């Protein structure tokens, strides 16, 4: 039971990193990023390929993953400069699918649909509960690091300007802010965080394959961020942990529901997720932790 | 009406406690051997998953009716892989740590099996799968020798395809594969075996899943003017490919794996379209009494004939293999059980077909369990080595012409 809970907390932490990534690009910069799974995959593959095949140290792998995520973010951002809202959403969704399909076809580069088995782990696997606990500490440390970073950014003039860009691009540019620069920075930073999440995920489960980066994961993170509050780091983190807790709880609920077949139980779980979101959004339309309006700094 | 955050969190907390309680109680049960059924109930494996899961339960009932294994009842806990490695890992973790299962049975797609195997290795428990990917045979996936495969590897399927093409006198084969470990494994296995015979493959196409049309891929293959197309495909995509090929009017023969060229395919596109297609499948052990027992159980559980789901026959055999190993090891020590799996399934020994019969025979000496899905002999990698049946679709019927041994 203990390692199960630890396992879920690690997965929750990975989701919390992804949620913070989405919060930065979507909640703060207003860039609807449906390509989250793609950046997640870029990070996971970058680190897994380096550490498994080139025997690079994990720290190097993770650093490269963050860089690769950031670069991919920059690339996507510059190729979508003039897009907002729905159009950007579609292009980023396409990006995620491109990453997945390239990963499953370029066998020489990624190992194709077999994926990469035996990715090295951060804490030795045969240490039992310490493997999970150690990995949990590392991932939670990453979540806290990103959280503190986001809080700092948010409180800084950069964060204010970013929100100004989100609210009204024209006003922001009239005020002398470079829209392109802010968008590119925010998007690329968000993608780097997703890359970090991917690397940590690969080093925990020891297996990276294209199938793991289906668009469903992006939808889950959107759920988490919507439920938690899409413009506050704390909201995103809380939403991610709650999402994992909720998804797992439905597993046990389906088990004790009387007289349902396996197929019906599986469907019930999906229904529960939908109902859960509807309830949260009805009761708390801005998420559990809505954005606080900031006072202008006294000067 | 106002709702506070505290109320909301309180409700979630209470719900979690409520759900948590019975599972802790459940984990205390004594005198049982718990097996996790981890089948693809939803997702792309769903045509098979339900039946696979039902056969795990039915086989456990058969074992329990014969007095259990080593004096213990087999208890089944089921989870759904959703045919997704992500979801499967979460479900497997729950089975292993919350339900304390000592074996995980029934993972279907290769991606799922490869994702789950690190977890079962960590816990030092057995994983039995029906996946085709060659990577599952060797380390790191099967580093501990705890993973068993009840399906022929894609490599073996490919070799069987090559034998058939040679026997049928084809000269210019092309391949089409669904892009996953299993689909590409089939056609790559074929290419290797075919080139080893000194021939050439005229065109190879790999296509992405879930497309509404495969016309451009099909045109590319047909442009090379092959006399036969070997596929590594599934039912849904094959249905579309067959329709589009029939419309094109270009004559060519097809060799397909049995899960694609099945009676369902005939039903979907009509007997005219699929006339003459060669369907290859690992031979279920159809004439064995174990197959009869399985078929009966499958009909009872689903109302369908047993041959409609080859994977269900495999999961039926999984429970038998594990239960007999427990009985032979006379305890629940995993290392001892694992050491007995081959001993009870492989020759030499008295051939046995049902659990009750095998249990009796085990008292007298060595046994060789013959399964419903195959004769169930494992090689050093934990892979079965079945024979392949070659079926021709004629007038809407699948008729077996001959058997290929590799």
* Among B155, B148, B192, CA closest to B314: B148
* Among B228, B164, B151, CA closest to B193: B164
What are residue B394's DSSP bridge partners? B397
Angle at CA of residue A269, ends A259 and A251, nearest 5°? 80
Peptide bond into B140 cis (omega under 30): yes
Across B105-128, average pLDDT: 94
- Every domain of chain B with CATH number 3.40.50.2300 lies at 31-152+287-356, 154-283+387-404
The share of chain B scoring above pLDDT 70, in percent, equals 93
Greatest CA separation for chain B: 79
Across A131-143, average pLDDT: 95
* CA dihedral (A193, A184, A101, A237) positive or negative: positive
- Is the pLDDT assigned to residue A95 strictly greater than 90? yes
Question: Where does B330-405 have alpha helices with state H?
Answer: 334-345, 355-364
**Contact call for residues B406 and B315 (beta carbons, < 8 A):** no
B155-174 burial string, b = 16+ CB within 10 Å, else e? bbbbbbbbbbbeeeebebbb
Across B87-110, average pLDDT: 94
Q: What is the pLDDT of residues B243-253, one digit of tens each?
A: 999 999 999 99
pLDDT-derived band at A147 (thresholds 50, 70, 90) equals very high
pLDDT-derived band at B288 (thresholds 50, 70, 90) equals confident
- Alpha carbon B103 to its chain centroid, in Å, reads 16
What local confidence, expressed as pLDDT, does residue B26 receive? Answer: 42
* Among B201, B197, B177, B202, CA closest to B187: B177
CB contact under 8 A, A205 and B50: no
DSSP state of B308: G
- Is the pLDDT assigned to residue A230 strictly greater than 80? yes
pLDDT-derived band at A65 (thresholds 50, 70, 90) equals very high
Give one word for B77, left, alpha or beta, with left for phi > 0 and alpha for psi -120 to 50.
beta
CB contact under 8 A, A4 and B98: yes
Considering only A45-59, B298-312, B314-328, which range has the smallest mean pLDDT? B298-312
DSSP state of A291: P
DSSP state of B72: B
- Is the pLDDT assigned to residue A263 strictly greater than 50? yes
**Measured between CB atoms, which of A125, A205, A288 is closest to B5?**
A288
Alpha-carbon distance values, B138 to A213, A293, B148 (Å): 25, 57, 11
A108 CA: distance to closest CA in chain B (Å)? 14
- Is the pLDDT assigned to residue A291 strictly greater than 60? yes
- Is the pLDDT assigned to residue A34 strictly greater than 70? yes
Across B260-270, average pLDDT: 89
CB contact under 8 A, A112 and B94: no
Considering only A170-184, B20-34, B225-239, which range has the smallest mean pLDDT? B20-34
**Contact call for residues A36 and A89 (beta carbons, < 8 A):** no
- For chain B, how big is the Rg over CA atoms in Å? 23
CB contact under 8 A, B85 and A125: no
A123 CA: distance to closest CA in chain B (Å)? 13
Average pLDDT value for chain B: 88
- Alpha carbon B57 to its chain centroid, in Å, reads 16
Secondary structure in 3-state letters for A226-248:
HHHCCCCHHHHHHHHHHHHHHHH
**Measured between CB atoms, which of A125, A205, A216 is closest to B115?**
A205
- Is the pLDDT assigned to residue B322 strictly greater than 80? yes
Across B180-189, average pLDDT: 84
Q: Which two tokens stand for residue A45?
A: 């593959």
CB contact under 8 A, B115 and A212: yes
Considering only A1-5, A66-70, A234-238, B354-358, which range has the smallest mean pLDDT? A1-5
Q: Which two tokens stand for residue A169?
A: 């691009």
What local confidence, expressed as pLDDT, does residue B354 receive? Answer: 93
Q: What is the pLDDT of residues A151-207, one digit of tens each?
A: 999 889 999 999 999 998 899 999 998 888 999 999 999 999 999 999 999 999 999
**Measured between CB atoms, which of B5, B15, B41 is closest to A266?**
B41
Q: Which long-range contacts (CB under 8 A, 24 or more apart) does B169-172 make?
A: B170/B227, B170/B228, B170/B253, B171/B199, B171/B227, B172/B202, B172/B224, B172/B225, B172/B226, B172/B227, B172/B228
What are residue B127's DSSP bridge partners? B104, B147
The Cβ-side half-sphere exposure at B54, using a 13 Å CA radius, reads: 23
- Alpha carbon distance A185, A153 (integer Å): 12
What local confidence, expressed as pLDDT, does residue B4 receive? Answer: 52
CB contact under 8 A, B8 and A251: no
Across B87-92, average pLDDT: 94
Chain B hits for A118, Cβ within 8 Å:
139-141
Q: DSSP per residue over A67-97, as a string?
A: HHHHHHHHHHHHHTTT--HHHHHHHHHHHHH
**Measured between CB atoms, which of A11, A113, A246 is closest to B181?**
A113
Residues 6+ apart with CB under 8 A from B9: none
- Alpha carbon distance A109, A41 (integer Å): 14
Q: How many CB pairs under 8 A join A and B?
A: 124
Chain B hits for A246, Cβ within 8 Å:
12
- Alpha carbon distance B110, B133 (integer Å): 6
The H helix count followed by the E strand count for chain A is: 12, 2
B387 CA: distance to closest CA in chain A (Å)? 25
**Measured between CB atoms, which of B8, B118, B179 is closest to A206?**
B118
Chain B hits for A115, Cβ within 8 Å:
111, 114, 181
A212 CA: distance to closest CA in chain B (Å)? 6
Across B11-30, average pLDDT: 45
Complex confidence, ipTM:
0.86
Alpha-carbon distance values, A243 to A12, A249, B13 (Å): 8, 10, 14
pLDDT-derived band at B30 (thresholds 50, 70, 90) equals low
What local confidence, expressed as pLDDT, does residue A296 receive? Answer: 66
B143 CB neighbour count, 10 Å cutoff: 14
**Contact call for residues A185 and A149 (beta carbons, < 8 A):** no
Q: What is the CATH code for B31-152+287-356?
A: 3.40.50.2300
Q: Pick the residue from chain B with its C-alpha nearest to A124.
A: B122
- Alpha carbon distance B342, A167 (integer Å): 67
What local confidence, expressed as pLDDT, does residue B223 receive? Answer: 95
What local confidence, expressed as pLDDT, does residue B22 receive? Answer: 44
- Alpha carbon distance A30, A222 (integer Å): 13
**Measured between CB atoms, which of B12, B50, B89 is closest to A263?**
B50
What local confidence, expressed as pLDDT, does residue B155 receive? Answer: 85
* Among A63, A77, A78, CA closest to A33: A77
Average pLDDT value for chain A: 91
Q: Which CATH architecture has domain B154-283+387-404?
A: 3-Layer(aba) Sandwich (3.40)
Q: Pick the residue from chain A with its C-alpha nearest to B184.
A: A113
- Is the pLDDT assigned to residue A254 strictly greater than 90? no
CB contact under 8 A, B82 and A266: yes
Across B267-283, average pLDDT: 90
Across B132-148, average pLDDT: 90
- Is the pLDDT assigned to residue A234 strictly greater than 60? yes
- Coil, helix or strand at residue A121: coil
What local confidence, expressed as pLDDT, does residue B286 receive? Answer: 76
- Is the pLDDT assigned to residue A299 strictly greater than 70? no
Higher local confidence (pLDDT), B17 or A160: A160
Q: What is the pLDDT of residues B337-370, one digit of tens each?
A: 999 999 999 998 999 999 999 999 999 999 999 9
Determine the angle formed by the axes of helices A233-256 and A262-283, rounding to 10 degrees.
150
pLDDT-derived band at B7 (thresholds 50, 70, 90) equals low
């Amino acid at each position: 039971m203990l390692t199960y809970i630890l396992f879920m907390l690690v997965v929750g932490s990975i989701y919390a990193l992804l949620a913070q990534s989405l919060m930065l690009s979507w909640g703060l910069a207003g860039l609807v990023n449906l390509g989250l799974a793609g950046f997640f995959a870029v990070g996971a593959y970058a680190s897994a390929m380096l550490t498994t095949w080139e025997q690079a140290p994990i720290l190097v792998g993770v650093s490269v993953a963050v860089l690769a995520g950031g670069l991919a973010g920059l690339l996507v951002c510059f190729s979508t400069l003039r897009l907002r809202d729905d159009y950007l959403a579609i292009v980023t969704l396409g990006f995620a699918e491109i990453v997945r399909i390239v990963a499953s076809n370029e066998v020489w580069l990624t190992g194709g649909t077999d994926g990469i088995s035996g990715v090295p782990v951060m804490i030795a696997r045969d240490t039992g509960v310490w493997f999970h606990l150690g990995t949990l500490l590392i991932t939670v440390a990453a979540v806290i690091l990103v959280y503190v970073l986001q809080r700092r950014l948010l409180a800084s003039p950069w964060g204010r300007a970013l929100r100004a860009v989100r609210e009204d691009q024209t006003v922001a540019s009239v005020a002398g802010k470079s829209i392109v620069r802010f968008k590119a920075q925010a998007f690329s930073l968000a993608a780097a965080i997703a890359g970090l999440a991917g690397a940590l995920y690969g080093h925990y489960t020891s297996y990276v394959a294209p199938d793991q980066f289906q668009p469903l994961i992006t939808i889950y993170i959107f759920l988490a961020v919507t439920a938690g509050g899409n413009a506050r780091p704390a909201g995103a983190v809380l939403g991610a942990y709650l999402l994992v807790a909720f998804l797992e709880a439905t597993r046990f609920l389906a088990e004790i529901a009387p007289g349902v077949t396996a197929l019906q139980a599986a469907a019930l779980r999906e229904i529960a997720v939908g109902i859960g979101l509807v309830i949260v959004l009805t009761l708390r339309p801005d998420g559990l932790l809505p954005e606080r309006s900031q006072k202008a700094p006294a000067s | 009406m106002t709702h506070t955050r505290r109320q909301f969190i309180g409700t979630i907390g209470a719900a979690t406690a409520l759900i948590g309680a019975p599972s802790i109680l459940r984990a205390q049960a004594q005198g049982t051997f718990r097996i996790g059924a981890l089948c693809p109930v939803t997702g792309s494996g769903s045509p098979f998953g339900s039946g696979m899961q039902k056969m795990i339960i039915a086989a456990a009932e058969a074992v329990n009716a014969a007095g259990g294994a080593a004096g213990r009842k087999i208890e089944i806990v089921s989870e759904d892989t959703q045919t997704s490695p992500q979801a499967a890992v979460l479900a497997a973790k729950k089975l292993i740590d919350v339900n304390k299962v000592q074996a995980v049975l029934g993972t279907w797609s290769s991606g799922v099996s490869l994702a789950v195997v690190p977890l079962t290795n960590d816990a030092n428990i057995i994983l039995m799968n029906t996946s085709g990917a060659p990577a599952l045979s060797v380390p790191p996936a099967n580093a501990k020798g705890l993973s068993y495969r009840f399906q022929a590897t894609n490599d073996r399927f490919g070799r069987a395809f090559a034998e058939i093409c040679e026997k049928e006198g084809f000269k210019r084969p092309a391949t089409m594969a669904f892009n996953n470990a299993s689909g590409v494994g089939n056609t790559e296995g074929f290419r290797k075996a075919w080139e080893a015979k000194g021939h050439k493959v005229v065109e190879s196409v790999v296509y992405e899943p879930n497309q509404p049309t495969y016309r451009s891929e099909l045109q590319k293959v047909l442009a090379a003017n092959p006399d036969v197309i070997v596929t590594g495909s599934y039912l849904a995509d094959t249905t579309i490919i067959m329709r589009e090929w029939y419309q094109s009017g270009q004559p060519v023969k097809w060799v397909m794996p049995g899960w694609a060229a099945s009676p369902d395919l005939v039903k979907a596109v009509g007997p005219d379209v699929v006339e003459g297609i060669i369907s290859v499948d690992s031979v279920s052990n159809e004439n064995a009494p174990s197959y009869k027992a399985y078929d009966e159980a499958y009909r009872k559980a689903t109302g369908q004939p047993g041959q409609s789901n080859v994977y269900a026959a495999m999961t039926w055999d999984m429970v038998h293999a594990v239960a007999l190993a427990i009985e032979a090891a006379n305890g629940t020590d995993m290392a001892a059980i694992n050491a007995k799996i081959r001993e009870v399934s492989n020759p030499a020994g008295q051939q046995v077909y049902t659990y009750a019969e095998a249990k009796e025979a085990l008292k007298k000496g060595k046994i060789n369990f013959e399964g419903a899905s195959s004769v169930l002999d494992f090689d050093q990698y934990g892979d079965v080595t079945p024979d392949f049946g070659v079926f021709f679709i004629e007038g809407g019927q699948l008729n077996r012409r001959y058997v290929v041994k590799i």
